[in-house]
Amino acid sequence: MSSTINTKFSRRSFLRTSSLASGGMLIGFNFFTACKDSVKMPVDIAKLNYNDFNAFIKISNEGMVTIFSPNPEIGQGVKTSMPMLIAEELDVPWENVNVVQGILDTQNYTRQVAGGSQSIRFGWDALRETGATARQMLVNAAAAKWGVDASECSAKQGVITNGKGETLGYGDVVNEAAALENERATERAAKIAALAEGEEMPAETIKLKDPKDFTLIGTDIGNVDIDKIITGKPLFGLDYKAEGMVYATVLRPPAFGQVLESYDATAAKAVPGVIDVITIGEKAKAMMAKEQIDWTAKLASSEKVVVIAENSWAAIKGKEALQAEWSVSTPLESTKAHDKILVDLLDGNEFTTLRKDGDVEKAFKQADRVVERTYESPFLPHNCMEPMNFYANVTDSKIHLVGPVQTPASAASTVANLLGRDEKDIRLEMTRMGGGFGRRLYGDFVYEAAEISDKIRKPVKMFSTREDDMTTGVYRPAIKYRIAASIKNGEVTGYRLKEAAVNGNMYGLIPNFFPAGAIENYQVDVATYNSNITTGAWRAPYTNFLSYAEQSFLDELAEAIDQDPVEMRMNLLEKVKETTDDRIEYSAERLQDVLKLAVEKSGYRNPKDGVFQGVSAYYCHNTHVAEVADVVMEGNQPVVKKITVAVDCGIVVNPLGAMNQIEGGAIDGVGHAMFSDFVFENGMATSNNYDKYRLIRMKETPIVETHFVKNTLSPTGLGEPALPPAAAAVAIAIKKATGNRVYKQPFISNMDAKPILG
Amino acid sequence: MPTYKLKINGVPNEIEASPDMPLLWALRDNLNMVGTKFGCGIGQCGACTVHVDGNAARSCQLQVSQLDGKEITTIEGLSEDGSHPVQQAWKEVDVPQCGYCQSGQIMTASAFLEKNTDPSREQIRSAMHGNICRCASYNRIENAVVKAAQKKMA
């Protein structure tokens, strides 16, 4: 008998069951809200109602399990790993599990969002409890069938065994389980009705497995969509088609700050296959006028010209043939001007203080020496491989939306708002997404598709070209950091970080990430410049660049006080161990452990001849990561050959998928830091496709070697945390290889940059 | 609109299209073969790679009017059931993250391995350099090509 852990938290009130007309049992559940008592479960699988439940488990008479996975899949693997949590506790062989992307509940489900590497962290308890509860229902049904007590029975790998060694498969008892659960629900309702005022139902307990007894969690499970991906089956938003669907491209202002003045559609309409040319934007503007709206305000501040066509090519050619005049509504900005504005902000005195320990001014005055450096990063587009697109079919009775979006719930409610419709009329289906990286958190493309379909009253697929995507997108904001530290008697006594950023500053607990808590006098100050260029979350917001600045700076500080950079970090972390500051979310021990592991596995203490290594350690998105970069010189060029990554993400649910995230995250971090630049002139992006915008490619790719810290702590996410430490590790290795530090991204064009200050 | 004959995965098709329509859109919109992906439209990312007479080619750069008599293979026709050694290697290595670029990667790799049956890692890296994977599953792509080469030899 496996050992188990009782959990007080009851799934019962979160679950409903029904017998299916086609045989088998359906379990509906909701992560965050108890189900309403009036809610009825469907008996027809085709009528799953995601308004009351956000996920379903179907167990067939054959014992096959279908899990309707609720979270959006952008490539981070949750469509595989989240169902694994259910299947582990339900205790079914993974071969008997089929995973289907669920449709969205736009009313009740608050965390149906892919972002912030939080899916697994939030789902860890809820999904396991759901699986365990379902298993218990089946065991109860088998016990009733045998006429024995349920405590005499156990379940393993889809088979229930009683004290006499008799067995029943899950499929053999699903119909009984559903009936039993219905009786139970009736009894429960009666008990609730009989409760005195203020009295609550006693919490039920459900047994969860001890992590050491996991048979599925911790094993390598391949991507559940793999067969469809390798054979080219329709999966993505751009692949979705419907009867009578037309295609639409949108001509948006080419520069931020411009609005449509006039247009001539004569040539566009002459393109074979073009059906019509219309404009949209009135509804978006009306909605914006009515209420405070998010960043999309800027993209929606102008009317846009839409080409409706019979096929994609005609839509693209039609857009190219459009003649449009634009006028300037707000100043056209440039990277050159931003550079000056941000430096001026750093030089100025207008800051908001996000963390203040001790007295940095005093520490700086009393110091033997102050080291100060400035780090600079450009805007970056997300460049999801699948360009933004969405399908919309707006009719008088319903609105059907299908496509790739990371925030389906808010997209649906905004569409309701935009079109003045009831949210209940909206059905939003998510497709697999060809990358997200933060871009698909913003639903501008959903609103455009909806407004187009509303106007033409036809099903439409709105899609962007690569040029549209790159030039009318949302960007990682350009940011500059200035970090200063005071040194007294060989110790770091003070540390001040200033951030000057476009359109917004670091948020949440970020100002309290390492090295906060480790230095007595410590201050984080931020300042913002508001631009009309749309900016937003980009994989590991803020930390994707902050980690590079801080970890590079720590390396330079170690040099200044003549300490080994690893030792210096270990010593700093030592000081955090006794902290009582509850804003310090990172664990000093766990950060030390990943640092030690990365140092050990990378051979950092004995590098091979000609190999230069840089080390960095960072905590973000609840996961602790350390990385060592190996750089060699090829001619005059430093080349990144390898990244050794040590990760503490608690229990690794699916090592195969986890390592894929880590490999990709580390390479993404190296690639953007080394190669990617994005410049604005007169409000317009100067690169619009991959011939002018450099993404890392195969030959430049380091080998990533991943090592996990083994423990049984609850799992944390991996979509983002491997990215931030990579750039600093590379920059530090480049310093060792060339003697020069790099203070500005991308490194490739700033490799010989001299320190700006100091 | 004129009609064009396209032989795709061994099957003759006739489509009505403007002469400059790229094969990419003919496949996706006219023929409902959406495995070939749109990534950049200028032949820079490789997501739309197909085989033309056995050579890897960017379908966004090929016009339907130029393809008469050519043998075109798409991801849908690489094998009937995903059993091609390259597809199997992709599955065993569990290459994809988002998966969007992978049919293009597989088509580039499969054409390459027809010409070079025993490639070095360096040759593999060169051969795959034209295909962008934004999720950066590059290590796995490289390993899957190595594995596919072994499978083909076996």
- A427-483 pLDDT tens trace: 888 889 999 999 999 999 999 999 999 999 999 999 999 999 999 999 999 999 999
- Residues A522, A397 share a domain: no
Contacts of B75 in chain A (CB under 8 A): 230-232
Q: Which residue blocks in A525-676 are alpha helix, DSSP H?
A: 543-560, 565-574, 588-602, 655-675
Stretch 62-91 of chain B: residues touching chain A, C-beta under 8 Å: 74-76, 78-79, 81-82, 87, 90-91
- Report which of A499, A490, A701 is spatially closest to residue B126, judged by C-alpha positions: A701
Specify the residue for token string 């379908």.
B59
Q: What pLDDT does A617 receive?
A: 98
The percentage of residues in chain A with a pLDDT greater than 90, rounded to a whole number, is 74
CA dist., res. A545 & res. A644, Å (int): 19
Distance CA A686, CA A577 (A): 48
**Do A234 and B135 make contact, defined as CB atoms within 8 angstroms?**
no
The enclosing H or E element of A314 equals helix A312-321
**Are residues A90 and A112 in contact, defined by beta-carbon separation less than 8 angstroms?**
no
Do A227 and A137 belong together in one domain?
yes
Is the residue at A361 inside a domain?
Answer: yes
List the one residue out of B26, B51, B54, B24 whose CA is nearest residue B37: B24
Cβ partners under 8 Å of residue B69, min gap 6: B7
Query: Is A14 part of a structural domain of the chain?
Result: yes
Higher pLDDT pick, A591 / A80: A591
Query: Is A487 in contact with A367 (CB distance < 8 Å)?
Result: yes
Average pLDDT over residues A18-39: 71
Assign residue B53 the CATH number of its domain. Answer: 3.10.20.30
Does any domain span residue A20?
A: yes
In angstroms, the CA A71 to CA A93 distance is: 22
Question: How many structural domains are present in chain A?
Answer: 3
Give the number of residues written for chain B: 154
Contact A435 B75 (CB under 8 A): no
Q: State which residues form the domain around B99.
A: 85-153
Most distant CA pair in chain A, distance: 83
Q: Do A493 and A587 belong to one domain?
A: yes
Interface test with B, best of A73, A81, A231, A674 (most B CBs within 10 A): A231
In angstroms, the separation between the Cα of residue A701 and the nearest Cα of chain B is: 7
B33/A232 touch (CB, cutoff 8 Å), yes or no: yes
Pairing of strands A426-430, A399-403: parallel
Q: Which residues of B28-59 are buried (b: 16+ CB within 10 A; e: fewer)?
A: bbbbebbbbbbbbbbbbbbbbbbbbeeebbbb
pLDDT of residue A186: 81
B35 CA: distance to closest CA in chain A (Å): 4
Which ranges constitute the DSSP H helices of A23-162? 78-90, 119-146
Instruction: Give A610 or A20, the one with higher predicted confidence.
Output: A610
Q: Please report, as a single letter, which amino acid is at residue A196.
A: A
Question: Are A21 and A178 within 8 A, CB to CB?
Answer: no
Q: How far is B52 from chain A (nearest CA, A)?
A: 18
What CATH number is attached to the domain comprising B95? Answer: 1.10.150.120
Residues A264 and A366 in one domain: no
| Contact across the interface for B125 and A699, Cβ inside 8 Å | yes
Residue A189 at interface with chain B, using a CB cutoff of 8 Å: no
Rounded to the nearest angstrom, the minimum Cα separation between A56 and chain B is 24
User: CA–CA distance from B19 to each of A247, A267, B57, B68 (Å)?
Assistant: 19, 18, 18, 12
ipTM of the complex: 0.98
* Candidates B79, B139, B145, B147, partner chain A, best to mutate (most A CBs within 10 A): B139
Report how many domains make up chain B.
Answer: 2
Residue B91 and residue B74 share a domain: no
Task: Please say if the pLDDT value at position A73 is more than 70.
Answer: no
Confidence of residue A116 (pLDDT cuts 50, 70, 90): low
Q: Considering B78, B107, B122, which residue would you say is the last residue of a domain?
A: B78
- Tell me: do A258 and A143 sit in the same domain: no
Quick: pLDDT tens for A517-566. Answer: 999 999 999 999 999 999 999 999 999 999 999 999 999 999 999 999 99
Task: Give per-residue pLDDT as tens, B11-44.
Answer: 999 999 999 999 999 999 999 999 999 999 999 9
Chain B residues within 8 A of A701 when measuring between CB atoms: 125, 136, 138-139, 142
d(CA A436, CA B98): 9
Q: Of the residues B47, B78, B109, which one is the last residue of a structural domain?
A: B78
- DSSP per-residue letters across A535-548: B---SSTTHHHHHH
Chain B residues inside the 8 Å CB shell of A656: 94
State the DSSP string of A714-742: PP---SSTTSHHHHHHHHHHHHHHHS---
Between CA A209 and CA A98 the distance in angstroms is 22
Reported residue count of chain A is 758
Angle between helices A565-574 and A588-602 (to 10 degrees): 160
Selecting from B29, B97, B135 the residue whose C-beta is nearest the C-beta of A312 gives B29
Is the minimum CB–CB distance between A235 and chain B shorter than 8 Å?
A: yes
- For residue A454, the enclosing domain spans 237-330+388-463
Which B positions 110-149 lie with beta carbon below 8 A of chain A?
125-126, 128-142
> Considering B48, B78, B108, which residue would you say is the last residue of a domain?
B78
Is A341 inside any structural domain?
no
Tell me, yes or no, whether B106 and B149 share the same domain. yes
If asked whether residues A438 and A585 sit together in one domain, one would say no
Q: Minimal CA–CA distance to A290: which of A280, A282, A299, A302? A: A282
CB A685 within 8 A of CB A256: no
B73 Cα to chain A: minimum distance (Å): 12
Residue A434, C-beta contacts closer than 8 angstroms, at least 6 positions apart: A75, A236, A237, A238, A384, A385, A386, A404, B37, B98, B99, B100, B101
Write out pLDDT tens, residues A216-269: 999 999 998 999 999 999 999 999 999 999 999 999 999 999 999 999 999 999
CATH of the domain at A69: 3.30.365.10
pTM equals 0.93
Chain B residues lying within 8 Å of A465, measured CB to CB: 41
Q: Does B57 touch chain A (CB under 8 A)?
A: no
Residue A468 lies in a domain: no
**Residue A307 backbone dihedrals phi, psi, to 5 degrees:** -100, 125
**What percent of chain A clears pLDDT 70, i.e. is strictly above it?**
90
